[in-house]
Amino acid sequence: MIKRRPLIVLIALAVLVLGASTAMAEKINLTFWSWRTEDVQAYEKFIAEFNSEYPDINVEFVAYRNTEYNTILATALQAGSGPDIIHLRAYGGMEPLAKAGYLMLLDDEIPALKDFGREVLLGATNREDGKIYGVPFAVQTIQVLYNKAIFEKLGLEEPATWDELIEIAAKAKAGGYIPFANGGKEGWTLETFFGAVAPTYYGGNTFFNEVVAGNATFTDPRLEASIEKMLELRPYLPDQYMGVGYTDMQMLFAQEMAAMFLAGSYELGTLAQMNPTLEVGAFVVPPMVESEPKYITMYVDGSYGANAATKHPEEALAFLRFLASKEYGAMFTDTLQQISAVPGVKPSDALLAEIVSMMEESATPYLMLTAFRYGQPSGSTLLQNELQGVFAGEISLDEALANIQAGLATWHVPFMK
């Protein structure tokens, strides 16, 4: 009689080996949640590049509506689920998630972070423990964007002083153009307006450091003077500017009805899509006297983090290390026409490279976003609401500044002493 047991054992072993081999070949699936609905195609391209090195890690990019993202993310994380990779808001938007223990510590996990600048890393750092929870993805600046063709047609040049800026606005208006595309229907666009104009007139980093430390307040004459400069531009805004919304502003500038746009560097990619033939230039809002300093507002737009409860921590970290690389930074900048937060990345786009040079020369932090969004009412909410009241003529500037100071004094510790 022929013994068949060894054959059966061999077959069983072969099945086990084949099963193990198949298991090893299975892909690990990671989910990546974001609010960047406009960037879906770009992230699919970035993920494809990651997969050229890590073919067995599948990353699914899921974008939610900007206004709903925070609630959807917080609800999922509180329930013990949520994505593996998290697109994090910067500063006060990231900190609550870190404090709650939802985010993976990255200080010792992403070697490339040691090369990131301190100011950039602050956007992904929890103030309470000083630890880093995200890989910063973009740096934004706020300045004046202008239509080169309109400037050339009217014989205009970039201004060196405030009076020259007003003269340009007057000539643009006389030439049949809206000088500035900006409106005030949405409060956050007035905070952007503030970010473009105010720093040069409140004193940039000096005032910023003083008010954060509590050695100055929001009723300071320097801040009042900076908002008065904003108000001087009202005659050069669109008709009925308080009814002009964000998309209206973009359209006015993209369709070459407005000569200038007080706006973020993040607009460049969108404007190019709206009007591929649009020629855009940029300059920092000038001081009263050419020899005085001028400041361009900058901030970290957000970061990439990992869910502390992910079932695939090593694979998630592999993806984050890719997102911290110079190769990724260059691809991000060239694809989205935004300034990568990765150090050493030089934009190939000439205008973006020029903006980076301006930032390196005279950057100052975006006041409310970087320092006063850590409590309620947030500095941004207060500033936006009060500016809308001032621009609509419903409240005096002195009252508005007093309201901002009173609101922040309820939670900003240096103001409570």
Query: Hey, what amino acid is at 290?
Result: E
- Considering the domain architecture, whether residues 201 and 288 belong to the same structural domain is answered as yes
- Considering the domain architecture, whether residues 127 and 180 belong to the same structural domain is answered as no
Give this prediction's pTM.
Answer: 0.89
Res 10 pLDDT > 50: no
Check residue 5 and give its pLDDT.
Answer: 52
The alpha-helical segments, DSSP class H, found in 30-186 are 40-51, 66-78, 95-99, 118-121, 148-154, 162-174
Of 284, 311, 346, which closes a domain?
Answer: 346
Q: Which two tokens stand for residue 300?
A: 């970290």
**Is residue 341 situated within a structural domain?**
yes
Res 18 pLDDT > 70: no
Res 3 pLDDT > 90: no
- Considering the domain architecture, whether residues 107 and 178 belong to the same structural domain is answered as no
Q: Work out how many domains the chain is built from and give that number.
A: 2
Check residue 6 and give its pLDDT.
Answer: 55
- Considering the domain architecture, whether residues 234 and 148 belong to the same structural domain is answered as yes
CB atoms within 10 A of CB 334: 15
Q: Which residue has the higher pLDDT, 9 or 189?
A: 189
Beta partners for 298? 141, 365
pLDDT tens sequence across 68-92: 999 999 999 999 999 999 999 999 9
**Is residue 78 situated within a structural domain?**
yes
The alpha-helical segments, DSSP class H, found in 255-291 are 267-274
**Is residue 281 situated within a structural domain?**
yes
**Is residue 1 situated within a structural domain?**
no
Q: State mean pLDDT over 362-389.
A: 96
Res 130 pLDDT > 60: yes
Sign of dihedral through CA atoms 245, 249, 252, 257? positive
- Considering the domain architecture, whether residues 241 and 324 belong to the same structural domain is answered as no
Res 215 pLDDT > 90: yes
pLDDT tens sequence across 308-332: 999 999 999 999 999 999 999 999 9
Q: Of 309, 313, 300, which is closest to residue 109 (Cα–Cα)?
A: 313
The helix/strand/coil state of 290 is coil
- Considering the domain architecture, whether residues 179 and 250 belong to the same structural domain is answered as yes
Report residue 26's pLDDT band, with 50, 70 and 90 as the boundaries. confident
Kind plus residue range of the DSSP H or E element containing 179: strand 178-180
- Considering the domain architecture, whether residues 114 and 225 belong to the same structural domain is answered as no
Res 213 pLDDT > 60: yes
Res 15 pLDDT > 80: no
Q: Of 27, 14, 82, 40, which is closest to residue 310 (Cα–Cα)?
A: 82
**Is residue 124 situated within a structural domain?**
yes
- Considering the domain architecture, whether residues 100 and 127 belong to the same structural domain is answered as yes
Residue with tokens 């949520």: 82
**Is residue 317 situated within a structural domain?**
yes
**Is residue 282 situated within a structural domain?**
yes
Using CA atoms, how far apart are residues 382 and 372, in angstroms rounded to an integer? 10
- The terminus-to-terminus CA distance of the chain in angstroms comes to 97
- Considering the domain architecture, whether residues 263 and 176 belong to the same structural domain is answered as yes
Res 175 pLDDT > 60: yes
Q: State mean pLDDT over 370-399.
A: 97
Q: Give the percent of the chain with pLDDT over 90.
A: 92
- Considering the domain architecture, whether residues 224 and 284 belong to the same structural domain is answered as yes
Where does residue 119 rank: exposed (0-12), middle (13-18), buried (19+ CB within 10 A)?
Answer: middle
For residue 231, the domain's CATH number is: 3.40.190.10
**Is residue 4 situated within a structural domain?**
no
Check residue 417 and give its pLDDT.
Answer: 81
Res 258 pLDDT > 70: yes
- Considering the domain architecture, whether residues 257 and 398 belong to the same structural domain is answered as yes
Check residue 9 and give its pLDDT.
Answer: 46
- Considering the domain architecture, whether residues 110 and 190 belong to the same structural domain is answered as no
Q: Which two tokens stand for residue 208?
A: 């910023």
Which residues constitute the domain of residue 115? 27-139+299-346
pLDDT tens sequence across 235-248: 999 999 999 999 99
